[in-house]
Chains A and B, each alone.
Chain A
């Protein structure tokens, strides 16, 4: 059978994607539907005792003040965290690329927080930020600024948690950008230099456009990550989960508490559906408006 070039591509694409797609369908998409389907029921261990409630959970969500809080907090985390993480990560990657000495050492130093277990990171930072004993407040007092409550304050807790998350994720962001920067062929830089460009112009016309795929990835994955923020919030708020007066509560944490501490899986599933739709909408938007085709 003779296949056209195009036909050949389609055939091979199907073969290559067969296993991954089957995997995703069976282990991710199907279970997701099963879980989200629970949002139409009142949860009970015995399936025969699960009462069908239709959209009741969604109605309840609409009126739930904690849900509103979790939603606004979650969006705030993303708006604060994603740009900060990407900007800092890019700057650091550029610096790490050009540092003249001890490159490996610096790379390891900037990567160390990312590999440290969150439970240890949370404990150390909660001490560093302690209003009474913390190093950060010592520094502030030294600079003449009054000590701050940070994690203890309903208004400061969320930005503080965001900072710790960004701090930890910088290692990830830096490695990503380094990989991206290394993927840009030297020739482009050389050619541009021959034409007399340097420094900022090189960055603007070569580095920035060619980093676009990595940037899009960072923004999309970063946003998806921040919208599902859970582990760091749990670990930094210790016994008052969700922060002083629910100021650090995220949708993912609210889902966890509802499902596994209050055994209200139907309601938790409804929240998950809302979260899913939110993430999908934002991601599609970002993919559409941030992707630039690269004309090489």
Chain B
């Protein structure tokens, strides 16, 4: 009897002594890779029984990589994904829900936008960092044209935009605002302008499209008029992936509205003094901003002891300590409510305007980010490229998007 129990004990302790290996996937971006490597190092120090394998892939084909690997059983246990992909991934079985307490932790400790990681009452991931939008402007270009401060209201914005636009016939050599429907502008219309004009893009449960309202139409036409009436910019000014950012870096665009994730790239390339300001708004009207984030989720491959290990790892990389390290190393804003109240951050000339918006930034509850994105981009392009009446274009978009939502939730 004793002999057998000793043997069992030995086998058990031997099995426990084997490190549990979990795999973490994210897309390749140098500072993020280095940050995760460091966090893994610290985690493994504190958790000698767990080994974390870190693998990275090109951003352009990241979803494809995940889509192919998990069904074959050889893929990540913890995966980094854009929050907007969550419902699609959940429906197709690529993510498993996190324990109940985590959802409560998110509600308590994280900025409001993170609630978008909750799908049908269950939480599917937690972020380390979050992002929002702000107005980037070229201080030197402003100064050269006698503009002292960044625009606070939309009227000022239009005035500045017109002043900075130079054209010969239909060809522009410099524009005031980098119009980019397929960049951040579709987010701008949906989450910021519609709300600022008093409307609401979607219903509370995210299942109905509400931007086809008088307020929504006002917001939409206001945006399309930037090109059609005020000519403060033109889409596709600079070709390429996110050409609006490139044009801004090249000093040919006075202002762009971009996410905080672009700070590094812009600083690296810009040969002028960079300024960042909060999005223009009517001083008496509602504040609005589009927030987004990349979250870390759990895949169905993390079973048994791997699940415990993965959850522990998840908790570690979303802790406040990790978020502080992430801000310093990668330059992305922390997701924790407490951390964003740091006065030093609020005073920072570049980060400040973003931080201020995190308290009220909302994240669109996408169910099929690719299709819904296309709906809004097409709505804008129909007006700008084919001269379709904004009311008609917006109506078409609302109908199309409602069909997408219905198909998803109806299943």
Contact = CB atoms under 8 A, between A and B. Distances in A.
B172 interface: yes
A126 B368 contact: no
B170 interface: yes
Given A239-B241, A245-B381, A46 B300 contact: yes
A147 B169 CA distance: 10
Interface in A233-256: 238-240, 242, 244-246, 256
B239 A245 contact: no
A151 B93 CA distance: 38
Contacts of A127: 239-240
Interface residues of A, number: 37
A260 interface: yes
Contacts of B382: 245
Nearest to B62: A260
B183 interface: yes
B239 A147 contact: no
A50 to B, nearest CB: 9
A132 B240 contact: no
A257 interface: yes
Nearest to A50: B93
A132 to B, nearest CB: 5
B352 interface: no
Given A131-B170, A239-B242, A257-B370, A49 B93 contact: yes
B63 A239 contact: no
Contact of B239 (A44, A45, A130, A261): A130
B277 to A, nearest CB: 24
Nearest to B95: A45
B12 interface: no
B61, B67, B243: most-surrounded residue (chain A CB, <10 A): B67
**Chain B interface extent, by class:** 35 or more
Interface string A82-97: 0000000000000000
B386 A154 contact: yes
Interface string B55-71: 00000010110011011
A123 to B, nearest CB: 6
B402 to A, nearest CB: 15
Interface string A154-184: 1000000000000000000000000000000
Interface of B: 61, 63-64, 67-68, 70-71, 88-89, 91-94, 170-173, 181-183, 234-243, 300, 368-371, 374, 377-378, 381-382, 385-386
Given A130-B238, A132-B171, 11 more contacts: A147-B170, A147-B171, A152-B235, A154-B381, A238-B242, A239-B242, A260-B64, A262-B88, A263-B67, A263-B88, A263-B91
29 contacts: A44-B92, A44-B93, A45-B70, A45-B71, A45-B92, A45-B94, A45-B300, A49-B93, A123-B240, A129-B239, A130-B236, A130-B239, A131-B236, A137-B171, A153-B385, A239-B183, A240-B381, A245-B381, A245-B385, A246-B374, A257-B370, A260-B63, A260-B64, A261-B63, A261-B370, A263-B63, A263-B67, A263-B88, A263-B89
